[in-house]
Amino acid sequence: MMILAIDTSNFSLGVAICSKEKVLGECTTNLKKNHSVRLMPMIDQLLKEVEVDPAELSAIAVARGPGSYTGVRIGVATAKSMAWSLNIPLIGISSLEVLAWNGAYFPGMIVPLFDARRGQVYTGVYRSVPEGGVQLAEPERIVLFRQALEEWKTIATEEPVLFLGDDVALHKETIQEILGTRAVFAPLSYQIPRAAHLGAAGWKALREGRVENTQTFAPVYLQLAEAEAKWLASQKK
């Protein structure tokens, strides 16, 4: 049994083919190039490299968002089309969860984030689980990042907080200002999501029966809370 994992939700583009026992192949780029042009050739090349026929796939896992509006749609549309044509399960996994897997086994709060401009980020809080991987501890949201940091400052005040994502660098000074030595910053190699982790999360979801309706499945875009929307509107006056 093999699963194809597809992540086009942000700047990086990742594809992996995983069995239950191993990662057969993985390809990741972090370049400013058109995902719509490069995705299918990347999938085709990887399938050929690992000598897997599309008919041998058991499921397709896709990063469902949040992230780039266009990027998310490219991956979801491709995954839906392939799952429908092959008549195999489709699994949607949060793009933030995929990134949070880079922090598996970290003994504290795991905070993946994507910049959303104007001081906002897409984020959530995850924690490691004994059997491997991560689970959501606080709801994902789009939030004014300084506000979120102030909230976390009052929670488990001695606990370390691991920040993950290419966009962490944009907010590093603010993070250090508010959390001080509690803030932990992963090496560069941990800052981009891995399609292999998406595949692992996909297997976990499949075992638990969490599959999507291929026809109705849609990207997940986190929305501003009403209070935040009003605050932003007031700043424009």
**Hey, what domains does the chain have and what are their CATH numbers?**
2-94+193-207 (3.30.420.40), 96-190 (3.30.420.40)
φ, ψ of residue 31 to 5 degrees: the values are -120, 155
Are 27 and 21 within 8 A, CB to CB?
no
Q: Is the pLDDT of residue 157 over 90?
A: no
- Predicted confidence band of residue 44 (pLDDT cuts 50, 70, 90): very high
pLDDT of residue 228: 46
- Is 224 exposed, middle or buried, given 0-12, 13-18 or 19+ CB atoms closer than 10 A? middle
Query: How far apart, in whole angstroms, are the C-alpha atoms of residue 90 and residue 69?
Result: 20
Report which of residues 156 and 211 the model is more confident about: 211
Query: How far apart, in whole angstroms, are the C-alpha atoms of residue 17 and residue 141?
Result: 29
Give the bridge partners for 114, in sequence order: 122
Dihedral angle sign, alpha carbons of residues 93, 16, 72, 115 = positive
pLDDT of residue 229: 54
Give the bridge partners for 112, in sequence order: 164
- Predicted confidence band of residue 225 (pLDDT cuts 50, 70, 90): very low
- Mean pLDDT over 205-223 rounds to 93
Q: Cα dist. 115→60, 88, 130, 222 in Å?
A: 27, 34, 30, 13
Opening angle at CA 192, ends 189 and 193, nearest 5: 120
pTM (predicted TM-score) = 0.92
Are 44 and 33 within 8 A, CB to CB?
no
Per-residue model confidence as pLDDT tens digits over 54-80 = 999 999 999 999 999 999 999 999 999
Looking at the chain, which runs of residues are DSSP E strands? 2-7, 13-19, 23-29, 57-63, 90-93, 109-117, 120-128, 134-144, 161-164, 183-185
- Mean pLDDT over 104-125 rounds to 96
Query: How far apart, in whole angstroms, are the C-alpha atoms of residue 23 and residue 26?
Result: 7
- Predicted confidence band of residue 137 (pLDDT cuts 50, 70, 90): very high
- Mean pLDDT over 185-205 rounds to 96
> Pick from 124, 114, 139, 144: which is nearest to 224 by CA?
144
pLDDT of residue 226: 45
pLDDT of residue 92: 98
- Predicted confidence band of residue 158 (pLDDT cuts 50, 70, 90): confident
